[in-house]
Structures are given as structure tokens and as C-alpha cells.
Chains A and B, each alone.
Chain A
Amino acid sequence: MSKTFDRFAGIAFLLIGLLFVLESQRISKSSYGSAVGPDIFPIGLGAVLILLSLRLLYETFRYQAKTESGEPVLYKKFLIIFVSALLYAALLEPLGYVITTFAFLLIAFQTMERGKWIKSIIIAGIFSFGVYYFFAEFLGGSLPGFPVF
């Protein structure tokens, strides 16, 4: 549990709550003249979230910050995998499923642990081709297979 995170989350959720209440005012009122339109529920939720966020912020001033356990956090590995996952998502449609999945898996395997290239290539290959052929060819699903030039 981290005080900084809790404070940050408290403020973020407070803003989300405010935004919800304000934006809900712009939703048109009920179309059939009933007292309960599509705006009531979101306004109520926004108000409750604001109250809860204030309560959380108040709580962060009361408890003692605990010393963080000395767990080493491997940001570098995570960032490489996360950025390659973003690229995977962005390139999936233009480059097709097989190529992007193969590339992503290979990069991720090697990021997790260097070496054993041949084994990595084989596993990545079996997964990407296997899933594509099983799903698209055998089951008749649709996936962008290969780039269309």
C-alpha cells in the first residue's frame, strides 16, 4: 500500500467523479417526460464517487506510510514488453496476425530471458502459425492473415 498512490488515485477519482456529474448535465433529459431520465444514474454515481474519493484522501492523512518492501521492480523488462505489445496492437491489422504475433513472442521471450534462440523461434512459430491455421483455416474465423500489398 502506498500513500502516494492512494493520494494520486483519490485525486484522479475525484476528478472523474466531477467530470461525470458535469458531463451528465449535458445528456438530454428523458425523452418521454418521465422524471427519471438517462442522466440521473450517472449523476448519482458521480456524486458518490466524489464523496468516496474525499474519504480516501482524508484516510491517507491518517495512516502511517508503511515502508515499502524491498522488492526489486524490473521496469526495463516490463517497458520493453509493454511497448512491443503496443506495437503488436498497432501493427496487427496492417501486417497481419502471423508476422506480428511471431515477432512479439520472439521479442518477449528474449526479454524475459536471453538465449535459447532456436527454442524461442520454434515456440513462437508454432504458436503464431498454429493459432492462425486452427482459427482461420480450420474454424473459419476471420483474422488478418498476411499483409496485403
Chain B
Amino acid sequence: MNTLQFLMDGFSIAFQWQNILFAFVGVLIGTAVGVLPGIGPMSGVALLIPVTATLTAGLPTEAAAASSIILLAGVYYGAMYGGSTTSILLNTPGESSSVVTTLDGYQMAKQGRAGSALSIAAIGSFAAEIISLIGLVLLAEPLSNVALQFGPAEYFSLMLLGLAAVSGLAGKSMTKALMMTVFGLMLGTIGIDAVSGIARFTYDIPVLYSGLEFLTIAVGLFALGEVFKTVLERDHEDGTMAKIGRILPTRQDLKESAAPILRGSFLGFFIGVLPGAGATLASFFSYIGEKKFSKNPEQFGKGAIAGVAGPESANNAASGGAMIPLLTLGIPGSGTTAILMGALIMYNIQPGPLLFDDHPEVAWGLIASMFVGNLMLLILNMPLVKVFAKIIQTPKKYLLPIIIAISFFGVYAVQYTTFDLYLLLACGVLGYLFTKNDFPVAPLVLALVLGPMIENNMRRALTISNGDFSTFVTNPISLVLLLIAAAWLLVPLLLKLKGRSVVLNEEG
């Protein structure tokens, strides 16, 4: 069967009524998550995993996994659309990749062009997602075929590369990022060892035998950490919201933004495919690029529509691009994709090269549903943007306690242990403290997800080589991957030593 055939099968799954509903609910919640300042895509997806797990409880495993991942991915790309709304209307980014959008978006809103800015952001996001989806469709097969040739040694090195990429660019201090990565790997060793069946670090406590639950840790670190931060450091008073006015962009606006949208989409896509470099970097580079390309660079910062169109397209294309390493190699390149990967593993579905062979329904159903979901988002965002803007006014007083209650419900309904609730609260406090002090938490979660796989591949490779560690460097592909990983960590360090400023990726 060729790719087109698979895609058609994917559409037949995406068009099942429950999956259309799941995609719709996903993008709707995602937009809300993007609009609400304080809840990013990571905490949004983490919070919804348990909810989808219960919603899909009656379905067979494969169908349940497809439906859940369709909803969760919808939240992810929906949040990328929604993030622009607050940037433009309030000068407050709803999530970190929309920071650049505030520069020109808010200026446009002040000039009474908020409607144009919002609709261009929606159109640009749509175009970018479609472009990156086509890229995903084209690259999925060839990439997973390459990855299928990999043995345990190559896999081990590839995963190390993934970890290095995310830690190398995250946060302000690489020492801290690496510490969080190693700590995440350590947490992953708690429980019964899958290879030998020996209990490690469990101290005869029964709840520890199955290991620390990824879900509890992710929800605690991201969602609760964010809630605690807002409770402790009340955010500054909400700004005044700009009026939206006319929603459709003028012909002139469309003409001026067409090229930035295209450039932003391709740039964002390639940055998204690279592990570690996420949507924030993509939007940032796109903004710089558009300013260079522009005939009137002095317009930037004063309401240039290209400064909204480019970055907004780039951040959406990056979120589409980030799905490629996740689905084809099984390496999540960002915090949010790490959480999506954790969700798939909960359903016993291993993302990676075998995904397309073993679970075509999940992989192609998801890809097809992303086409459907993006169309929904475009339709939703153009006329309903005024309704979404109302969500911004949800009082924190009610929102924050409800987020705590939702995370309690979610964790308890999946785990059925009070232990996980205490762990959740502890992770919330740690998440707040870590983030406040520049210890990035996304590498920790990524390491927790990848840890067991890294260890298993390492041990398998060492068993084949009779315990000879040189197997990782004598194998050419593995050596190349390790060298890239080392470069990823060393190059920013060298640049720093030379006094260059290094672009950081603060999003997960």
C-alpha cells in the first residue's frame, strides 16, 4: 500500500463520528488553553490525558488510543492558535511561543486593526499546519524505514541525542538543565526492572513497584506548578482589552502577509523537526527574518502585519514538525510531545518506526484528523474569535482551584491511589520551585519518558557486545549520533565562552 492509500484509511478513521467529536473537543479546549494565560499547551495536554483515558475506557485499545491521541494533539495545535489571541488583544502571550506576536499584534490592535491581526494569525496558522502536515505525510515512511535499520546501539545514541538537544537549549543554565535530565532518568529507574525483574529503589513499598507514574509527575510539575505560581505571585492586574472590530482582513493585508506566511511555514517546519528547538525559537527566527526581508523594516514594532503573519505561521508549523521525530523515531523533541508520547505509551503503543506498521490506525488516523482539526480551527477562529476573547475574563479566583480539582480527579480516576495525590502535590511544589529558579522541568519529563527505553537499549547493546562499551563508538551510525549529541551540548558552551549570546528555548 502506498502513502496515499494509508492516508485515505486514516481519513476513514478520522471521519468516524466519535473521532470528529474528539478532534472538535480537542481543538476547542486547546484554543481555550491557549487563550488562558497561565495554562500552556504542556499543562493543558497533561491535564487532559486522564480525562480522555476515562472517556475512551469502553473502546478497544487501538481505537481508544487513536481517539485519545486525536483529542490530545488537537489540544496541542489548538493552543498554538489560541496563544495569539491574548498576545494581540492584551499584550500578554497566552503561551510562550506567542511572545513575538505581542510586538506587532498589540500595536495593530491599538490602531483598531485587531480583527485583521487575529484573522491573519488564524489564516497563517492554518496554512502553516497544512504545509507541515504535508511534510509529515511525505517524510513519515522514508524516515521510519531508515529508523527500522537501527539496532539497540543506534537507538541508545539517538535517544541520548534527543535528551541532549532538549537539555542543551532549555533554560538559562546548562548545568541545571542536565541535572534535571539526569534526575528524570533516575526517577525512571524506580520500580521493577523490566529486564531482570529485580525491584529497584522500592524499599518494599507496594505502590513503588510499578514505578512513579509519568502522568502524576507531568500534571504536578506543569499544571499544579503553574497554579501554585499564580497563587503565590498574583499576576499583575489584567490590562485593558482592545476592541476587535472588523474580523475579515483587507485585500491589502492578505497581500502583505502571503509571503511571510509561506516563509514562516517552511522555516517553522524545519525548526520543529529538529529536536529541542521548538515553536518559540521558530517564531523568534521568523520575526527576525521578516524584518530583514521587509522593504520597510522601520514598520516592525509599530503594527506591521508581516510581524504577526510570519511568527504565528512559524510556531504552528513547528508544532506540526515536532510530530515527525515523535511519530517516526519515537523521540519527542519538546515537552509537549514528550507528554503526548507518555500518553501513547499508557495505551501500550510505542511511538517510533514500528508505529506505522504495527498501528497504522493510530498513526494515520492522527495525521488525517489533524487536517480535519485544523479546518475546524480556521472555521472556529474566524467568526468565534470574539467568544474566545471572553474566556480571557474568566476570574482566576474560580479557575485556579478548579484546575487543582481537575488534576486531582484525573490522577485519582486513573491511578486509584492516594499516594499519587500526595506525589502530585509534591511535584506541584517542586515544579514551582524548579521553574522559578531556572531548573527547566521539560527535560525531566522527557527523561522520565525516555529513561526506561534508553536503559533497555543500552543493556541490549551491551549484552550483544558482551559488555564492551566501545560498541557505541565502533558502530558508525551510533558514533555520528553521539557526536551530534556532544556538539549540541558543546557548541552553545563554546559560543558562551566566546561571549556570544545564545538563543534560548524557554518553552518545553
Contact = CB atoms under 8 A, between A and B. Distances in A.
A104 B234 CA distance: 20
A38 B193 contact: yes
Given A81-B231, A104-B405, A112-B396, A135 B189 contact: no
B232 A74 contact: yes
B425 A109 contact: no
Contact of A109 (B58, B401, B409, B438): B401
A145 interface: no
Nearest to A112: B397
Given A27-B198, A55-B175, A74-B234, A9 B437 contact: yes
Given A78-B228, A143-B412, 14 more contacts: A2-B437, A34-B462, A38-B193, A42-B200, A49-B183, A56-B176, A82-B228, A85-B408, A86-B422, A105-B402, A108-B404, A128-B405, A131-B405, A135-B409
Interface string B461-472: 011001100000
Contact of B408 (A28, A31, A36, A88): A88
Given A49-B182, A81-B401, A92-B412, A75 B455 contact: no
Interface in A52-67: 52-53, 55-56, 59
Nearest to A63: B173
Nearest to A4: B437
Contact of B189 (A13, A34, A42): A42
Contacts of A46: 186
Contacts of B179: 13, 49, 52-53, 56
A36 B401 contact: no
Contacts of A146: none
B231 A49 contact: no
B44 to A, nearest CB: 18
B54 interface: yes
Contacts of B490: none
A12 B329 CA distance: 35
Interface of A: 1-2, 5-6, 9, 13, 16, 20, 23-24, 27-28, 30-32, 34-38, 40-42, 45-46, 48-49, 52-53, 55-56, 59, 71-75, 77-78, 81-82, 85-86, 88-90, 92-93, 97, 101, 104-105, 108-109, 112-113, 123, 127-128, 131, 135, 139-143
Contacts of A42: 186, 189, 200-201
A9 B194 CA distance: 31
B233 A71 contact: yes
Given A1-B438, A13-B179, A41 B455 contact: yes
B414 to A, nearest CB: 10
A46 B172 CA distance: 23
B57 interface: yes
28 contacts: A20-B186, A30-B196, A31-B198, A36-B462, A38-B193, A38-B200, A41-B455, A42-B200, A49-B183, A49-B186, A52-B175, A53-B179, A71-B233, A72-B233, A77-B231, A88-B408, A89-B408, A89-B421, A89-B425, A90-B418, A92-B408, A93-B418, A97-B409, A104-B401, A109-B398, A112-B396, A112-B401, A141-B54
A24 B199 CA distance: 11
Contact of A27 (B200, B400, B401, B418): B200
A27 to B, nearest CB: 6
A141 B231 contact: no
Interface of B: 54-55, 57-58, 172-173, 175-176, 178-179, 182-183, 185-186, 189, 193, 195-198, 200-201, 228, 231-234, 395-398, 400-402, 404-405, 408-409, 412-413, 416, 418, 421-422, 424-425, 429, 433, 437-439, 455, 458-459, 462-463, 466-467
Contacts of B58: 140
Nearest to B447: A45
B231 A74 contact: yes
B418 A92 contact: yes
B426 to A, nearest CB: 10
Give the interface centre of B405, B413, B439 by most chain A CB atoms within 10 Å.
Answer: B405
A77 B231 CA distance: 7
B196 A38 contact: yes
Contacts of A101: 405, 408-409
A127 B425 contact: no
A123 B399 CA distance: 11
Given A38-B193, A93-B418, A139-B57, A59 B231 contact: no
B413 A38 contact: no
A24 B429 CA distance: 28
A56 B439 CA distance: 11
B147 to A, nearest CB: 23
